[in-house]
């Protein structure tokens, strides 16, 4: 059995790949009508999600809680933790579905039939699941490679566009209001989901007590910078940004010489699709590990904790993949954008319900164990405010979207 441990670089790569998936690629179009408000939303979301992520690390340090559901299990008991594990499974499955929709959108589909959705999704999921069943060394290699391929263009392209953006006559005149901030937060909060994946795979991390917090902080700072620079250049340079299917591809086309644009477009689109596939692959692996760890805690059936000779939770991976395909088909919408927004709303709301109870567990733990330090109080307050406000905003957005559809 492989004893390879994940270090700071590999863990940071996993976090970045999990978070910076279809979110950074599509959100500029979705947030276009919010203008400069989106910058504030990104910063608030990043700080709030970092507080939630650090709550998990503190629960591990103070109460030896393991995994995403450990704090809930420790404080509220088995039944609520079991419910949380099922909800988390559903949230990740809906996340996989959302990234598949993102893949289809970048592939050029504005609409897709149910049959096409089922066939293409099955092929992608089956292939990536088979890869996830191999050695963890392959997972690390792919994660680092995808992270590098993703960060370089996502930082490099906007940086190349900055001189053009500074010369742009476009003025970001949208007024910053509470209503626009509330609406944009429903999307930017989702863009940071995945930070807790570091906790999900903590048993595979070298020196998790120090490695996980450092990876979380570095990842959030890096991702926030990526989001804001990309959003600003897109707002300044892309006409009708709200209707753009592939804003980062449009940005690259803007800075490339006209003589090679027609040749570069297919290449750039292919690379973009590969990056989205890398994000799906990362989430499939993380989902399998999370299900396996929940099964070890007896929150899910025991057979899901079984691993193959590569130390991969093969049965958990197969189950999550089948459920991802079924969930995608059961929530089918012909319009890519409607389907995507619906998936994102479900994913984000469910996840924040779990975050909320985790934060309550943290607050109770530091009180019971007399760990009321300035750091813990500030951390608990920030996480509690983030989760409470987020659930209200997300529930309102989900209800509006449901009745619209």
- The CA distance from 401 to 345, in Å, is 8
* 109 falls within a domain: yes
Ordered DSSP codes for 140-161: HHHHHHHHHHHHHHHHHHHHHH
* 263 falls within a domain: no
> Can you name the residues that pair with 335 across neighbouring β-strands?
111
pLDDT, tens digit, 9 for 90 and up, residues 245-261: 678 778 887 777 777 77
* 54 falls within a domain: yes
Cα-flanking dihedrals φ and ψ of residue 175, to 5°?
Answer: -70, 140
Q: How many CB atoms lie within 10 A of CB 222?
A: 17
* 261 falls within a domain: no
* 51 falls within a domain: yes
- The CA distance from 77 to 82, in Å, is 9
Most confident option among 193-202, 224-233, 357-366: 357-366
Q: Distance between the two ends of the chain, CA-based, in angstroms? A: 49
* 354 falls within a domain: yes
- The CA distance from 69 to 27, in Å, is 29
Q: Which domain holds residue 383?
A: 8-255+275-404
Residue 23 above 70 pLDDT?
no
* 262 falls within a domain: no
Please give the tally of structural domains in the chain. Answer: 1
- The CA distance from 71 to 2, in Å, is 28
Least confident of 11-20, 103-112, 213-222, 223-232: 103-112
Least confident of 49-53, 123-127, 213-217: 123-127
Q: Give the CATH number of the domain where residue 376 resides.
A: 1.20.1740.10
Residue 343 above 70 pLDDT?
yes
Contact 320, 89 (CB under 8 A): yes
- The CA distance from 379 to 373, in Å, is 10
Q: How many CB atoms lie within 10 A of CB 314?
A: 19
Residue 157 above 80 pLDDT?
yes
Query: What Rg, from alpha-carbon coordinates, does the chain have?
Result: 20
* 269 falls within a domain: no
Higher-confidence position of 54 and 35: 54
* Exposure letters 394-403 (e unless 16+ CB within 10 A, then b): beebbeebee
- The CA distance from 153 to 34, in Å, is 24
pLDDT band at 202 (very low <50, low <70, confident <90, very high): confident
Contact 351, 91 (CB under 8 A): yes
Residue 241 above 60 pLDDT?
yes
């Amino acid at each position: 059995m492989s004893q390879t441990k994940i270090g700071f670089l590999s863990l940071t790569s996993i976090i970045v790949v999990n978070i910076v998936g279809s979110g950074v690629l599509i959100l500029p179009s979705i947030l276009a009508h919010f203008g400069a408000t989106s910058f504030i939303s990104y910063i608030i979301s990043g700080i709030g999600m970092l507080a939630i992520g650090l709550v998990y690390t503190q629960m591990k340090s103070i109460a030896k809680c393991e995994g995403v559901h450990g704090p809930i299990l420790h404080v509220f008991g088995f039944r609520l933790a079991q419910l949380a594990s099922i909800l988390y499974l559903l949230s990740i499955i809906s996340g996989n579905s959302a990234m598949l929709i993102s893949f289809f959108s970048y592939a050029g589909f504005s609409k897709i039939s149910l049959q096409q959705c089922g066939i293409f999704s099955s092929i992608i999921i089956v292939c990536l699941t088979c890869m996830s069943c191999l050695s963890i060394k392959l997972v690390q290699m792919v994660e680092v490679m995808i992270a590098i391929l993703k960060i370089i263009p996502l930082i490099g392209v906007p940086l190349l566009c900055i001189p053009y953006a500074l010369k742009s006559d476009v003025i970001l005149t949208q007024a910053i209001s509470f209503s626009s901030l509330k609406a944009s937060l429903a999307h930017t909060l989702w863009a940071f989901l995945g930070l807790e994946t570091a906790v999900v795979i903590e048993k595979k991390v070298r020196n998790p007590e120090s490695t996980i917090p450092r990876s979380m902080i570095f990842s959030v700072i890096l991702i926030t910078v990526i989001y804001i620079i990309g959003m600003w250049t897109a707002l300044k340079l892309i006409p009708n940004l709200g209707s753009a299917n592939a804003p980062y591809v449009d940005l690259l086309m803007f800075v490339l010489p006209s003589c090679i644009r027609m040749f570069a477009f297919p290449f750039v689109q292919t690379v973009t699709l590969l990056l989205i596939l890398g994000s799906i692959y990362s989430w499939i692996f993380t989902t399998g590990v999370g299900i396996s760890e929940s099964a070890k805690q007896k929150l899910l059936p025991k057979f899901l904790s079984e691993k193959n000779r590569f130390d991969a939770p093969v049965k958990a991976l197969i189950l999550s993949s089948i459920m991802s395909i079924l969930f995608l088909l059961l929530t089918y919408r012909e319009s890519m954008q409607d389907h995507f927004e619906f998936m994102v709303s479900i994913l984000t709301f469910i996840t924040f319900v779990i975050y909320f109870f985790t934060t309550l567990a943290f607050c109770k733990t530091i009180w019971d164990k007399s760990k009321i330090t300035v750091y813990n109080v500030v951390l608990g307050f920030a996480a509690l405010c983030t989760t409470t406000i987020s659930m209200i905003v997300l529930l309102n957005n989900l209800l509006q979207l449901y009745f619209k559809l």
